[in-house]
Structures are given as structure tokens and as C-alpha cells.
Amino acid sequence: MAIQRPKGTQDLLPGTVEQWQYLEETMRCVCREYGYDEIRTPMFEATELFQRGVGQTTDIVKKEMYTFLDKGDRSMTLRPELTASVCRAYVENKLYGQPQPIKLFYIGPMFRYERPQSGRFRQFHQFGVEVLGADQAVVDAEVISLVWDLYKRLGLTKLEVHVNSVGCPVCRPKHRVQLQEFLTTRRDGLCKDCLDRFDRNPLRILDCKNPACQAATIGAPTTRDTLCEDCSTHFEKVLAFLEAAGVVCRVNPRLVRGLDYYTKTAFEVMVEEIGAQSAICGGGRYDGLVEEIGGPPTPGFGFAMGMERILAALQVQHKLPEEKPRVFAMLIALGEKAQIEGFSLMSALRTQSIPVSMDLLNRSLKAQLKAADRQGARYALILGEQELEEKVLLIRDLTLGEQNQVPLSKAVEEIKKMYQRGVNA
């Protein structure tokens, strides 16, 4: 039997790849405008980085990591997300010694051993941003408005931005006690995972997707009720900045992020119409993370966005660019001599950065014209035996059906002019 790709992975073929390029270019463009620089870190890291940086109690670390021993018996893990890696790179490369904050973005594949379904893959792609070294509320707002602007630029609609504050090590213990008290009498309704979370990390019970757990937590005390003064002021400021930037968001007191290192602001973006996996972006503040992985105390704020889900949303909302760029001209050379002459012409045109291609199968005129049409070429450059003898090139406008001849010696110059007119039109 033929070998197939691993479950939960995708081959991105021409036709689809152009959509990815469009999305990536738009992301890079927005980041450039906001003054964020790209970072690229390894596809795999020491397993301990994710155990510490993502958190032992999270689903990611408990169930979803691709972990293996390398030939030197070191435990390695394919990156399931990038915040921990970016923080490691920040510490390892002493970026804390440079002027702060450090504003970074990344685009790339992540790996999680999950049950594949619509919107859920084992290799998927995230675009994300991390700001390290600034704890001001304006940072949170700037990053959220970057997300907002990106969606506007992509033309995405029907989305909801939810924000909340999950507090900090000062005020969260108080909430934890209140939540545990509230849930004591409702324990029977909780799923097995949540019973496990009850002592270890009860906050995450609010995050459980299980309907029974959601029902059991209706009316539960929220982190917002117990925020300390610092967290509360911070949150009010974030909301004020977001309003000033025109970001439409909803305070959702039930929003808690699944990761252990989140402090203060948490946010999530949901989009309608793409099915059950409607979360397209999640992020927040993580003031404890850099220290957790062995660096100096450093505040951080960031998000990760699922690119497959953004593309799915763009698809249903008909917001993807329709066509791939067309080739400007197809060279149709007939006969061996013409092919050599044509190949030389094509190489001259390519030196001038004019997009042109040529039949590689030595087919008939009819077949080549058909191919030119299929590729959406604007012009056919025809070079047959007769043209070769007369030292001319036949240029046929495939849209208008007109054609004219130019001396072969002037062909490059002529085609270049036509191309520039087209580009400037």
C-alpha cells in the first residue's frame, strides 16, 4: 500500500499555498507597521522547557506533546506552542540587556497530539506576538489592537473579542478558595478532569468545555470579584486604551486561559461559522513565565492565532483572494531550432524579471495555446519555423485575439514595454 501522510497533517498544494502566502504577508505587513520583529526558534526543544513553561497541569503537557528521546538519550519535544521558546530565547540570548520592551512575532508550525477533526490538526500553524519587558496596560491594549487591525485588514467579520483579568499571585489565592467553596457542593457534576483540577488548579474548571461542568459553574465567583487593587486598575486601563483604539470587545468574567503562567489580562477571539472550534486567537499577560524558566523577573504579553482556523473563516466569508498571479506571457516555440532560440529569448526576458513560461513537453501549437489559456497568460509569444526564417516573433494578445509581429532583435525591448504598461495600468 502507498504510504500516506500522518494523521492530522496536511499537504498544502499550489492553489492553497497562495492563500497561506497572502495570510502570512498580511501578518508580516501589520507587524512591520506596528514595529514588531520576527523571531525563529527551533522546531524542537528540551522537554523540560514546555513542562515548566506551559505547565504540568495543562492538557498540552499532560496529553498532547510529541516527546521522544534523541540518540543521546535526551528528552526532546516538538514545540506545541511558542511562548515558552520565545522566552527561552530571550533569556539565552540576553535580550533583557537590550532596550526594552522587546517586541517579537513568529509564524510557523506547532505540533500537538490531538484527536484530528475539523479545525484541529496535529501539525498546525500559529501566528503569534510576544512583548517582553513591559508591564504597562498599554502593552496589552497595543497587542490586542494589532489583532483587531489584522482582522480588519483581512476583512474578517462576525468575530468577538473577549477580555478578562485572571488576577495575579496576590489575589488569585483568594479567588481559588472562594471557587473551591462554591464548587464543593457541586463536585458530583464535574467531569473526571475537573475533579482532578479541583485541588490542583480549580480556575481551569471555568474553562472546561464539558456541558456538565459548564452548568456546575454557573454563578461561580469570578476572578474579577477578587482582583487586588493593582490588577483592577490595570484592567480598567486596558479597557480604556482598547476603547480609545476603537477595539470592540466584551468583558467575559468566565474567560480563563488554560496555561498556568497567565496573569492579569486574558483575551480570546472567537469567530462564527467555522464550527465547534471557533477560537481563532488566545493570549494574555504572563508576568511569571520568564522567571519560571530561569530568567530574570520579566513581564510579558502575547497571543497565538490558529492560522488554519483564520483561513477557514476567510473561506466561508469569501474574503480570500481568488486567483493566483497569472503568467504574463507563454512562449510557444515549434520545432527544435525555434525552441533553442525561444529558450534564449525566455532567458533574456527572465533576466528582466518578466514572468514568462514555455511548454516543456514539446507539444503542438494547438495544445500549447490551450495551455497558455489555462494558465491565464495575457500573451502568447509564437516562434515557428517561418518566424525563425523571417527573424520575427509573433505576439498574440490572448484576451483581444489581436496579433502583431516584431523583429526578433527588438522582442525583449518590446515585451518589456508591454509588461510595464500592464504593471502600471
Residue with smaller CB distance to ligand ATP, 81 or 142:
81
| Residue 277 binds ligand ATP (CB under 6 A) | yes
Within 10 Å of residue 328's Cβ, how many Cβ atoms? 20
Q: Which of 52, 132, 40 is CA-nearest to residue 84?
A: 52
Within 79-98, which residues bind ligand ATP (CB under 6 A)?
81
Residue with smaller CB distance to ligand ATP, 309 or 378:
309
Cell numbers given for 31? 507587524
Counting beta carbons within 10 angstroms of the beta carbon of residue 139, is it exposed (0 to 12), middle (13 to 18) or buried (19 or more)? buried
User: Rounded to whole angstroms, what are the CA distances from 383 to 328, 341, 348?
Assistant: 17, 8, 15
Contacts with ligand ATP by CB under 6 A: the residue count is 18
Q: Roughly what angle, to the nearest 10 degrees, separates helices 307-316 and 17-34?
A: 110
| Residue 121 binds ligand ATP (CB under 6 A) | yes
Of 309, 313, 342, 369, the one binding ligand ATP (CB under 6 A) is 309
Residue with smaller CB distance to ligand ATP, 55 or 342:
55
Contact 8, 123 (CB under 8 A): yes
Residue with smaller CB distance to ligand ATP, 126 or 164:
126
| Residue 304 binds ligand ATP (CB under 6 A) | yes
Q: Sheet harboring 379-383: ordered strands across?
A: 356-358, 329-333, 379-383, 392-397, 403-407
Q: Sheet harboring 123-132: ordered strands across?
A: 37-38, 102-111, 123-132, 300-306, 279-285, 263-271, 159-165, 250-251
Q: What is the Cα–Cα distance from 386 to 392, expressed in whole angstroms? A: 9
Residue with smaller CB distance to ligand ATP, 52 or 396:
52
In the complex, minimum distance from the CB of residue 347 to ligand ATP, in angstroms, rounded to a whole number = 43
Q: Which of 179, 228, 186 is CA-nearest to residue 201?
A: 179
Taking CB under 6 A as the binding criterion, the range among 116-124, 147-155, 231-239, 359-367 that sits at the site for ligand ATP is 116-124
| Residue 126 binds ligand ATP (CB under 6 A) | yes
Of 112, 172, 285, 378, the one binding ligand ATP (CB under 6 A) is 112
Of 28, 120, 176, 254, the one binding ligand ATP (CB under 6 A) is 120
| Residue 280 binds ligand ATP (CB under 6 A) | yes
- Please give the residue ranges that form the binding site for ligand ATP (CB under 6 A): 81, 112, 114, 119-121, 124, 126, 258, 277, 279-282, 304, 306, 308-309
